[in-house]
Homo-oligomer: A and B are copies of this chain.
Amino acid sequence: MARPIPHIVWKRDRLRVLDQRELPRRIVYVDCRTPREVAKAIKDMALRGAPLIGCAAAFGMALAARRRSVRALDAAAEVLVKSRPTAVNLAHAVSAMRELARSTPPAGLPERLARAAERYYRDDLSFNRRMGVLGAALLPRGAVVITHCNAGALATSGIGTALGVIREAFRQGRVAHVYADETRPYLQGSRLTLWELMQEGIPCTLITDSMAAHLMKVQRIDAVIVGSDRIAANGDVCNKIGTYGLAIVARHHRVPFYAVAPTTTFDPGTADGSGIPIEERSAKEVLELSGIPIAPVGARARHFAFDVTPARLVTAIVTEKGVIRPVNAARVKRLLG
Residues of chain A whose beta carbon lies under 8 Å from any beta carbon of chain B:
24-25, 179, 181-185, 187, 190-191, 194-195, 198, 204-215, 217, 241-242, 244-246, 248-249, 252, 278, 283, 286-287, 289-290, 292-302, 304, 307-308
Contact = CB atoms under 8 A, between A and B. Distances in A.
**Dominant SS among interface residues on chain A:** mixed
Given A24-B295, A214-B241, A289-B289, A184 B198 contact: no
Contacts of A206: 283, 286-287, 295, 299-302
Contacts of A301: 205-207
Given A204-B300, A245-B245, A249-B249, A210 B195 contact: no
Given A183-B210, A209-B242, A290-B294, 4 more contacts: A182-B286, A184-B210, A190-B295, A206-B286
A191 B295 contact: yes
A179 B301 CA distance: 9
Contacts of A308: 217
Q: Kindly list the 8 A-B residue pairs having the minimum CB-CB distance in the complex, ordered from nearest.
A: A210-B242, A213-B245, A214-B307, A206-B301, A184-B208, A190-B295, A209-B210, A24-B296
30 contacts: A24-B296, A179-B302, A183-B210, A184-B184, A184-B208, A184-B210, A187-B294, A190-B286, A191-B294, A194-B299, A204-B300, A206-B286, A207-B302, A208-B209, A208-B241, A208-B242, A208-B286, A209-B242, A210-B210, A210-B242, A211-B241, A211-B242, A211-B302, A213-B307, A214-B245, A217-B308, A245-B245, A248-B249, A289-B292, A289-B294
A293 B209 contact: no
A251 to B, nearest CB: 8
B289 A245 contact: no
Contacts of A242: 208-211, 213
A292 B289 CA distance: 9
B209 A209 contact: yes
A219 to B, nearest CB: 10
B190 A294 contact: yes
A7 to B, nearest CB: 16
Contact of A292 (B181, B183, B213, B292): B292
Contacts of A244: 213-214, 217
A265 to B, nearest CB: 19
Nearest to A240: B210
Given A205-B301, A302-B207, A245 B212 contact: yes
